[in-house]
Structure 1
Amino acid sequence: MNRSELAPGSSAASSVTASPAPVGYQQELRRGVGSFASFAAGFSFVSILTTVFQLFGLGFGLGGAAFFWTWPLVFVGQMLVALCFAELAARWPISGAVYQWSSRLAGTTVGWFTGWIMIIGQILTVAAAAIAAQAVLPGIWSGFQIVGGPHADPSVVSPTGAHNAVLLGCLLLVITTVVNILGVRQMAAATSIGVTIEIVGVIALVLVLFFLPERSPQVVTHHTGWAGHGGYTGAFLASSLMAAYVMVGFDSAGELAEETHNPRRTTPRTILRALITSGIGGALLILSGLMAARSLTDGNLAAGGLSWVLTDRLGGVLGRLLLCCVAVAVFACTLAVQTSGARMIYSMAREGALPFHRHLSKVSARTGTPITTSIVVGVGAAVALLVNIRQSAIFTALSSLCIAMLYLAYLGVTLPLLVTRLRSGGTGRLADGVDETGRPLFSLGRWGIAVTTLAVLYQAGMTINLLWPRAEIYDVTGGTWWLRWSALLFIGLSLAVGAAYFLASRLHRRIELTHVPHTHIEPPAEAVAEPA
């Protein structure tokens, strides 16, 4: 599809939004996702209980109490991106959202590399989410510290904690893979239940911690707890990685669009709701934790994070009950990320864009889900954990690497979107249309160019910040140069491997001319509104 076909008023753009009957891709995935389950997919990918608990100590250790202000800054930046995604989700409600949007905006070559980076990033994100089990389960019961016994150090930066994190993470991946294989309804039900428990847990936790203050909210105006020297700007930028790690994945609702009822109306709203809810809940969680911590300077908060605050202030029983809510959130987060990655692989495979595409594009007649892709994502994440089993730096390095790759993939959408808007005659508008209920599609209107420009600038800046070779992120053990530069090296290698396959496959198709990949015919549209 040529970019000029997206100009306002063009017939191609109009057909995307007003198609009277299902066209394009054959509807193989089952529509079993309602409005709340669509919201749950994005919210559980972000999963503030999982990620804030997992990364609170990192942010506080890098920037002290003032790291709180990185949260609203990142939230505003990601909200700009989410607004762009919401507009695209209304026009192309199709699995493999980031890949599909990029391909339609910039052409199939840019789309393919965007999808390739997104797949690798999602697989690594599944692994990073599964590691969070180590931050929670040993705090609930010491028996979960299997490696070294219950008295061993459970911290993920210790040898015993790192090994145990890999073990617990692999066991969690087995469970989430099974749930994904069972079917989209089972996955949606599990995610919805997990999100409900997570929201209740966040509310309860915030209220409890606010009623146990050791200091006032003014604590965030100082960088108490920061142990660094010199200027604070570098430390503040480093601490912003915590918020950047957390607020991604809100586009997961778009990955389930082909399985969602009334996706043109539902998906844009659930993308925004997932991020807004996460932003508000995460800010309150961070603030309440800083206020309730017994000490900001004894090292416990940086080492133990919110888990230490809970068990220290609430005692064993109540603290462990709330940690159980966090454990459920970890499960829902890992499940949601794995589902998102599986749909991305399926979307590319059904166009012949990946190796073994005939197997990866198969949808089970019994469950209505792509079983093979779910297994591939689960196995890939387990491999990512196992190859790092002897590296205690796995936690921070893997977290930063996977999120940097997601930011790069997001740029593969927003940058072409900005170019498309600028070429639209200065209006910045995409084609208008209606959703399944006859209402106008979500649109940024005349604000499109401004919002997209700011989104691109934010993403570019944060990507550089994420990839910066900081020793405290990529080489916490010290003295290993390749670990410090591992993010840039890994992304370069991933792009090189992808380029080799892409060029080889294009040459192969020119010789055999067996089929034309990347057809990008219009996505399925529901003829009438379906009940949620």
Structure 2
Amino acid sequence: MTESADRDELARFGYQPSFERRTSKFASFAVAFAFVSIATGIFTTYGSVLNSSGPIGIWTWPIAVVGQLAVAFVIGSLASRIPVTGYAYQWTSRLANPVLGWIIGWISFMFLAVVVVAVDYTVASTVLPVLLSYEATSGITWAITAVILLAQGLLIAGSTRWTEKVNNAAVSAELVGMVLLTLLLLIVAAVRSQMDFGNLFSKGAVPAEGYWSFGDWTTAGPWMLGFLLGAFTIVGFESAANLAEETNDPERVVPRAMWQAVLASGVLGFLFLVAVTLAAGDPIALAESGTPIADVIERTLGSVVSTLLLVLVVLAIFACGLVIMLTGTRLTWAMSRDKRFPGWSQLNQVSPRFRTPLKATVMYVVLAEVILGVFTAFSEDALFTLFGAATLLPAVIYAATIALYLAKRKSLPANGKFDLGRWEKPVLAVAVVWLVFELALFRDTSFRDAWLYVLVLLVIGGVYLGALLVTRGRQALDMPDMHSIDHELDQARS
């Protein structure tokens, strides 16, 4: 896109270019894939699924992939029509109203702030202790997580180009590594006669009675809890949209990056899950391990390959956290650009030296460190609480976005670059059914702290929103040069 075309494109939404368009097709895909990060999600949650649902719980994965793929297609349609930084915040503000847009933007911001801590905490609490053979005390875990967050922040603040290079390299390594690990597991386990096909349909130590129950008002059935494996892992693909103003041809590239990342993650992730489960040995004994994936790899492929797996997981988790933080800083900057984020006059600046939202990045790192300290100090099960909130919040964001698309889809103009066409209705039906089912999972009492976190977020955000409306009036939330999407639609039709 030429500088003139870039300026004209953003002018339609009331903005001037602030970043250079350097993000390529692969870099956009890599951002979406790194956020999903199957190595991170599977390594982190496979043990929980063994305990809650047994090995047979992995069969929930394909269903979650189909559901999230439908969501990705719908969100891609919005990203193609409104290709500006701020993703869900921008879409909701322009399609519904600025108040709802601000609320969704605030929830998205806090989701990104908590999930980056959850992801980086995984490295310090479960991966590095095994890799480096040390005891993961709460103090050591806190210190290592804090250092990782700082390192990611320094990289993002210093250079978007180098941030993408590091992420591209990590994603390439994850793709190649996961393919090789899957093939090696299947081949070696078959040669050594270590495959147990019964594991694919085993409930492990989970009682058979009531297994297929939906549960009650406060408890989800064992098989339903298995969906948390996919629900936690296959999220964040929309992060590619938050670099729209830095991506070449974002109307075409960003939506494709989303669905391609979900599909690649879904297929590769399921093949890896099947391979690990076949080679799992005794699933009941494996469920007691804190690192079941690493245990299966070591038993089947040896300690050297197991160590390489842990190194791969460290790289994948670092890249995942890096992309989450990158997405969070861009959202902070986007909301500050519209003068509706605390400290916006400082956070809307782009560093002339680094060409990055430097101050927004610093604020984001500080907030992440505070969240880390609070959860570490006051939660006996900090990791699960963080994961619970990190799984619940995107489901809420996706549901709000899909509902908005349903309400406005007939008035949205086709842009010729990414449209669902005749597949729109069936794709929407799948997305709605999946999200309703997914949200039903969170009635389980184990997510009490996650709901409490969401409530606290809404209260804090509500206080600021109320102060904003009182001090600056309703017009403080109007979008630049566009009070609603109707103006944009009129322009598109003329």
Query: With structure 2 as the length reference, what TM-score do the two structures score?
Result: 0.89
TM-aligned CA distance change 1:19 to 1:178, over 3 Å: closer
Structure 2 distance, partners of 1:232, 1:32, is: 49
For 1:217-239, what per-residue CA distance to the aligned partner results, in whole angstroms no more than 9, with x for missing partners? 45322323436864343011112
In 2, are the aligned partners of 1:102 and 1:114 still within 8 Å (CA)? yes
Q: CA deviation at 1:489?
A: 2.1
- The answer to whether the 8 A contact 2:126-2:290 is kept is no
Q: Is contact 2:55-2:202 (8 Å) kept?
A: yes
User: Measured at CA, do residues 520 and 82 of structure 1 come closer, stay the same or move farther in structure 2, by a change above 3 Å?
Assistant: farther
Q: Is the 8 A contact 1:123 1:381 kept in 2?
A: yes
Displacement after TM superposition at 1:353 (Å): 1.1
The CA deviation at 1:496 is 2.0
2:420 is equivalent to residue 444 of structure 1 = yes
**Partner AA of 1:432 in structure 2:** A
Residue identity in the other structure for 1:398? L
One of 110, 126, 145 as aligned partner of 1:135: 126
Which residue pairs with 2:240 in the alignment? 253
Question: Is residue 155 of structure 2 the alignment partner of residue 175 of structure 1?
Answer: no
| 3-state SS of paired residue (1:388) | helix
Give the equivalent residue in structure 2 for 1:6.
none
Q: Secondary structure at the match of 1:293?
A: coil
Give 1:527's aligned residue: none
1:487 counterpart = 2:446: no
Q: Distance in 2 between matches of 1:108 and 1:122?
A: 21
Tell me the distance in 1 between the aligned counterparts of 2:188 and 2:53.
23
Q: CA deviation at 1:464?
A: 3.0
Is residue 406 from structure 1 mapped to residue 394 from structure 2 by the alignment? yes
Q: Distance in 2 between matches of 1:63 and 1:503?
A: 44
**Shift, 1:246, TM fit:** 0.3
Q: Residues 517, 430 of structure 1: CA spacing in aligned structure 2 closer, same or farther, 3 A cutoff?
A: closer
Q: 1:21 to 1:333 in 2, by over 3 A?
A: closer
Partner of 2:480: 519
> C-alpha separation between the residues in 2 aligned to 1:464 and 1:119?
23
User: Would the aligned equivalents of 1:49 and 1:198 in 2 still touch at CA under 8 Å?
Assistant: yes
Q: In the alignment, what sits opposite 1:290?
A: 277
Q: Indicate the residue corresponding to 1:268 in structure 2.
A: 255
Greater shift, 386-395 or 47-56, is seen at 386-395
Contact 1:46–1:278 under 8 Å retained in 2: yes
Alpha-carbon distance in structure 1 between the residues aligned to 2:358 and 2:477: 25
Q: 1:101 to 1:236 in 2, by over 3 A?
A: same
Cα distance, 1:275–1:212 mapped onto 2, change above 3 Å: same
Deviates more, 1:377-386 or 1:43-52: 377-386
**2: CA distance, partners of 1:273 / 1:383:** 35
Residues 19, 190 of structure 1: alpha-carbon distance in 2 compared, 3 angstrom cutoff: closer
Alpha-carbon distance in 1 for matches of 2:206, 2:89: 40
What percent of counterpart residues are identical?
29
**Post-superposition shift, 1:394?**
1.1
* 2:41 equivalent in structure 1: 51
1:198 Cα offset (Å): 0.8
Q: Is the Cα–Cα contact under 8 Å of residues 98 and 477 in structure 2 kept in the other structure?
A: no
Q: Distance in 1 between matches of 2:272 and 2:211?
A: 27
For 2:480, the aligned partner's letter is T
1:195 and 1:329 in contact (8 A); partners too: yes
Matches of residues 457-496 of structure 1 in structure 2 within 5 Å?
457-470=433-446, 474=447, 485-496=448-459
- What is the aligned partner in structure 2 of residue 203 from structure 1? 179
After TM superposition, the structure 1 = structure 2 runs for residues 100-499 of structure 1, keeping only pairs within 5 Å, are: 100-133=90-123, 134-142=125-133, 150=134, 152=135, 154=136, 160=137, 162-213=138-189, 214-226=194-206, 230-233=210-213, 234-300=221-287, 302-390=289-377, 391-421=379-409, 424=410, 430-433=412-415, 440-470=416-446, 474=447, 485-499=448-462
Secondary structure of the residue aligned to 1:27 is: coil
Shift of 1:45: 0.3
CA contact (8 A) 1:301 1:308 kept: no
**Residues 307, 34 of structure 1: alpha-carbon distance in 2 compared, 3 angstrom cutoff:** same
Does the aligned pair in 2 maintain the 1:251–1:271 contact within 8 Å?
yes
Between structures 1 and 2, the one with greater helix share: 2
Q: CA offsets per residue over residues 112-159 of structure 1, 9 Å max, x none?
A: 1111111111110101110121322222221xxxxxxx3x3x5xxxxx
> TM-score w.r.t. structure 1 length?
0.83
1:437 alignment counterpart: none
Between 94-103 and 496-505, the greater mean CA deviation after superposition: 496-505
CA distance in 1, matches of 2:367, 2:389: 15
The change in CA–CA distance for 1:217 and 1:96 in structure 2 (over 3 A counts) is farther
Task: State the alpha-carbon separation in 2 of the partners of residues 392 and 510 from structure 1.
Answer: 43
Give the Å deviation of 1:263: 0.9
Displacement of 1:301: 5.8
Q: Answer whether contact 2:395 2:435 (CA < 8 A) is retained.
A: yes
Amino acid paired to 1:140: L
Residues 520, 307 of structure 1: CA spacing in aligned structure 2 closer, same or farther, 3 A cutoff?
farther
Counterpart of 1:195, as a letter, is V
What amino acid is aligned across from residue 75 of structure 2 in structure 1? Answer: F
Distance between the aligned counterparts of 2:9 and 2:195, measured in 1?
Answer: 60
The aligned amino acid for 2:455 is G
After superposition, the C-alpha distances for 1:376-417 in whole angstroms (9 at most, x for unaligned) are 222222222211224341111210112211211222211111
Amino acid at match of 1:500: V
The 1:466–1:30 alpha-carbon spacing in structure 2 relative to 1, beyond 3 Å, is: farther
Aligned residues of 2:211 and 2:223 also touching (Cα < 8 A): no
Alpha-carbon deviation of 1:208? 1.4
Checking the alignment, whether the CA contact within 8 Å between 2:52 and 2:222 is kept in structure 1 is yes
Aligned to 1:506: 469
* Range with greater deviation from structure 2 (219-228 or 271-280): 219-228
Count of aligned residue pairs for this structure pair: 466
Counterparts of 1:249 and 1:292, CA distance in 2: 30
C-alpha change, 1:111 and 1:67, in structure 2 (3 Å) is: same
Distance 1:140 1:231, change over 3 A: closer
1:223 and 1:180 mapped to 2: Cα distance? 44
Distance, in Å, in 2 between the alignment partners of 1:225 and 1:31 is: 53
Counterpart code for 1:403: T
RMSD: 2.4
Alpha carbons of 1:376 and 1:457: their partners in 2 closer, same or farther (altered >3 Å)? farther
CA deviation map 1:296-354 (0-9, x unaligned): 12245653220221233322222112221111111100100111111111111110111
Superimposed CA distance per residue, residues 483-514 of structure 1 (whole angstroms, 9 cap, x where no aligned partner): xx222222122212212211221111139x8x
Q: What are the Cα deviations for residues 31-75 of structure 1, in whole angstroms up to 9, with x where unaligned?
A: 121111100000000111111111111111111111111101111
Shift in alpha-carbon separation, 1:19–1:331, aligned structure 2, 3 A = closer
SS in 1 for 2:316: helix
